[in-house]
Structure 1
Amino acid sequence: MIRTVIFDMDGVIVDTEPVHRYAFFRHFEELGINVSDEEYATFTGSSTKNVYQQLKDRYDLSADIDELMMRKREFFNRAFDEKPDLYLLGTVRTLIEDLHAHELQLILASSASKSTINRVMKRFDLYPYFDHIISGEDFTHSKPDPAIFEHAASLAVGSKRECVIIEDSTNGIAAGKAAGIYCIGYDSEHSALQDLSQADLVIHDFSELSAATIAAIEPA
């Protein structure tokens, strides 16, 4: 029986990807580097720090990682605060409320920075539903490294076999499977170019899930 549900944030709870994309590409333009759509897609599920670690080596950028991250964050924060049409995805709030009402533990494990997570959680009043909030910026390696999900599982009320992860990215599913946790892949219009084939279950709408169906999952 499942007792803990571990949620990714971007692409699962809220789609801040257009805001991130805008911020990244404004910064890429400022840096004078040409990042293709295909290259950018490989960063999905990675932390901003990890993205800039890769870009710094690949494009021989002179600025240090913290400076690069802060500049991108300036672009992101301005766009996030000014964007009126930012909503929770599909019926995810209904699912979150259902899980919480049936006393399943909820943990957020996102590659996003603490600043971005805080903005989302405050804007949509989600803090009351989650027992733990974990940011990828606290880990040396980003997804597909399993560290963030290993840590999330260590905070769960039960064993790994009593946890599930809901993810929308290739890197996120790979991280979850590497951590030995049952993975539900959310295949939506916001998951372009993502391979969810490693997921144990793939859904296309949150209406396919409920507290009852998740609690009844029996990992192999």
Structure 2
Amino acid sequence: MIKTVIFDMDGVIVDTEPVHRYAYYKQFSELNINVTEEMYTSFTGFSTRNTFQTLKGFFPTIEHGVEDLIQRKRSIFNDAFDTKEDLYLLEGVEDLIKDLHANGIQLILASSASKVTIERVFTRFNLHRYFSAIVSGEDFPQSKPNPAIFVHAASLSVAPKENCIIIEDSTNGVKAAKGAGIFCVGYRSENSEGQDLSEANLIVNHFNELNAFKISQLSI
């Protein structure tokens, strides 16, 4: 029986991708580099640190250090996030979170986002009360598809990983979940276009396909 649900954040709880995209491409313009759509899509699930480490390998003309690049991107993102009014939780996810919490299922967040971004999202949408732990990708040297973030999140569970599931919307996230040996629900939405969820144990198109009872009965 499932005791813990581990949520990704971007693309699962809230769609901050347009804000991230705006921040990244504004910075790419400042750096005078041409990042193709294919390359940008390949970074889905990466932490900001891993994204810029990879970009510096592709573009030797980037003279700034990774830390400076990270801080500039976060500054652009934070300014855009704070002024963006049309930012909402994804349809159905709040009801699912409340249902899981009300039925005693532990909720853990494991997101590639920085702690600052997670805090902004959780404060804006009043989510802290539902989650017992928050794990940020900035604490790990490698991003998804490396499973480290999910292995750590599962270690915070009240139950063994066999009693956990992960909800993910990206190719790299699903691969990380599978690498951690944890049941993965792939959430396919309009925001996950181009992402391969085929390795997920279960794929859903809307959160109304899930509830606490159905999730509790899942098994790997």
Report TM bin, short chain: over 0.9
Using the TM superposition, give the Cα deviation of residue 84 of structure 1 relative to its aligned residue in structure 2, in angstroms. 0.2
Distance in 1, matches of 2:124 and 2:152, equals 26
Distance in 2, matches of 1:155 and 1:133, equals 10
Aligned 1:197-216 pairs, distance under 5 A: 197-216=198-217
- Whether 1:37 aligns to 2:51 is no
Q: Aligned letter for 1:40? A: Y
Structure 2 unaligned residues grouped into runs of 5+: none
Q: Is the 8 A contact 2:7 2:167 kept in 1?
A: yes
Distance in 1, matches of 2:12 and 2:165, equals 14
Query: Secondary structure of 2:198's partner?
Result: coil
Q: Is the 8 A contact 2:183 2:219 kept in 1?
A: no
Length, aligned pairs only = 219
Residue 192 of structure 2 aligns with which residue? 191
Distance in 1, matches of 2:137 and 2:203, equals 24
Distance in 2, matches of 1:45 and 1:192, equals 14
Distance in 2, matches of 1:17 and 1:59, equals 23
Aligned 1:135-146 pairs, distance under 5 A: 135-146=136-147
Query: Secondary structure of 1:190's partner?
Result: helix
Using the TM superposition, give the Cα deviation of residue 57 of structure 1 relative to its aligned residue in structure 2, in angstroms. 1.1
Distance in 2, matches of 1:42 and 1:134, equals 22
Query: Secondary structure of 1:194's partner?
Result: coil
Structure 1 runs of 4+ with >3 Å offset: none
Using the TM superposition, give the Cα deviation of residue 218 of structure 1 relative to its aligned residue in structure 2, in angstroms. 1.8
TM-score w.r.t. the length of structure 1 is 0.99
Distance in 2, matches of 1:29 and 1:108, equals 32
TM-score w.r.t. the length of structure 2 is 0.99
Residue 26 of structure 2 aligns with which residue? 26
Q: Aligned letter for 1:13? A: I
Distance in 2, matches of 1:218 and 1:18, equals 34
